[in-house]
């Protein structure tokens, strides 16, 4: 097997990297791919709780890199998807415990066994971020339609370009269609014009993400969630399928538009 390494990064914290990693991992696994997610945020691990696997951790990424366990022993199999695994971050160490070449070596080993290796990058542009992008074949830059997140995304894109990696792809997360319509939130077109890279997905703001995270269940597995649908679409595009971008409207479709016509300004 010759797996692909996909890194999810953003520069700014809190834009949804961990949620995106969990959901793309689950989405790819749900499409029948064998997937491992690596939490590269050493000292601030969270991918375990988002996936609902926090009670099963025995070994972590630093244990693997320092040879205290075999890679397989640190991989936790998901409760719902038998082809989804997690390698958790260490919680009591700092980012200098792992180097970019450690990550390259580990991913080369995992490529033999997995179709996809997803890396959840920490915020910032220091060591942890360098670790996360070093082995990447594909880099997804995640941002929100908001000034600080777009500015930091631009810095990240600049660094990735300087590293001569493949051009990163953009995911715009937490879009509020009603605010965009009122002219109070940057639109997808605005963000694309500013950042000038290819878009691979846009995800609406959706309360079901918080509900799913509360339960430790990736929202892609919730067939009714709009954010879940958006993440499924991104997973399909990663698999080479040509999926049209969905509407960001809260009540997409004819009825939603009709109700807005009847109650202008409402919703």
Q: In the complex with other proteins, which residue's Cβ is closer, 147 or 258?
A: 147
Q: Residue 147 Cβ, how far from other proteins at the closest point, in Å?
A: 5
Our finding on whether 197 is near other proteins (CB under 8 A) is: yes
Alpha carbon of residue 164 to chain centroid: 22
What is each CA distance from 209 to 172, 174, 227, in whole angstroms? 15, 10, 7
89-148 positions binding other proteins, by CB under 8 A? 146-147
Measuring CA to CA, which residue among 130, 205, 196 is closest to residue 157?
A: 196
86: left (phi over 0), alpha (psi -120 to 50) or beta: beta
Considering only residues 13-42, where is the footprint of other proteins by CB under 8 A?
none
Q: Which range of residues in 23-31, 111-119, 183-191, 214-222 is near other proteins by CB under 8 A?
A: 183-191
Which residues contact residue 170 at a Cβ distance below 8 angstroms, ignoring those fewer than 6 apart?
140, 141, 143, 153, 191, 192, 195, 197, 198, 199, 200
- Tell me whether residue 14 or residue 32 sits nearer to other proteins (CB atom): 14
CA distance 179 to 142: 20
Token output for 35: 């997937």
Contact pattern from residue 143 through residue 172 relative to other proteins, giving x for each residue in contact according to CB under 8 A and a dash for the rest: ---xx--xx--xx-xx--x-----------
Name the residue nearer to other proteins (CB basis): 157 or 220. 157
190 binds other proteins (CB under 8 A): yes
Q: How far is the CB of 125 from other proteins (least distance, A)?
A: 12
E strand or H helix at 132, and its extent? Answer: helix 127-133
Rounded to a whole number of angstroms, the minimum distance from the CB of residue 124 to other proteins is 16
Pick between residue 138 and residue 185 the one whose CB is nearest to other proteins.
Answer: 185
Among 182, 215, 241, 257, binds other proteins (CB under 8 A): 182
- Look at the alpha carbons of 84, 25, 214, 58 in this order and tell me if their dihedral is positive or negative: positive
Q: How far is the CB of 139 from other proteins (least distance, A)?
A: 15
Number of residues near other proteins (by CB under 8 A): 23
The residues of the shown chain that bind other proteins, judged by CB under 8 A, are 146-147, 150-151, 154-155, 157-158, 161, 179-180, 182-187, 190, 193-197
């Amino acid at each position: 097997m010759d797996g692909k390494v996909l890194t999810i990064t953003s520069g700014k914290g809190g834009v949804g990297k961990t949620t995106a990693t969990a959901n793309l991992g689950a989405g790819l696994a749900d499409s029948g791919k064998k997937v491992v997610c690596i939490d590269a945020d050493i000292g601030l691990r969270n991918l375990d709780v988002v996936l609902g696997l926090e009670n099963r951790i025995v070994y972590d990424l630093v244990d693997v890199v320092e040879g205290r366990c075999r890679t397989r022993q640190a991989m936790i199999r998901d409760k719902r998807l038998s082809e989804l695994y997690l390698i958790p971050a260490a919680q009591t160490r700092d980012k200098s415990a792992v180097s970019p070449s450690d990550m390259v070596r580990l991913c080369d080993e995992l490529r033999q066994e997995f179709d996809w290796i997803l890396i959840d990058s920490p915020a910032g542009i220091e060591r942890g971020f360098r670790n996360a992008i070093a082995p990447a074949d594909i880099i997804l830059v995640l941002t929100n339609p908001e000034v600080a997140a777009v500015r930091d995304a631009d810095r990240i894109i600049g660094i990735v370009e300087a590293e001569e990696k493949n051009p990163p792809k953009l995911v715009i997360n937490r879009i509020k269609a009603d605010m965009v319509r009122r002219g109070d939130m940057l639109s997808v077109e605005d963000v694309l014009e500013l950042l000038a890279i290819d878009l691979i997905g846009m995800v609406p703001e959706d309360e079901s993400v918080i509900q799913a995270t509360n339960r430790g269940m990736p929202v892609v597995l919730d067939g009714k969630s709009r954010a879940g649908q958006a993440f499924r679409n991104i997973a399909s595009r990663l698999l080479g399928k040509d999926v049209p971008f969905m509407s960001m409207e809260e009540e997409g479709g004819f009825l939603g538009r009709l109700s807005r016509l009847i109650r202008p300004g409402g919703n």
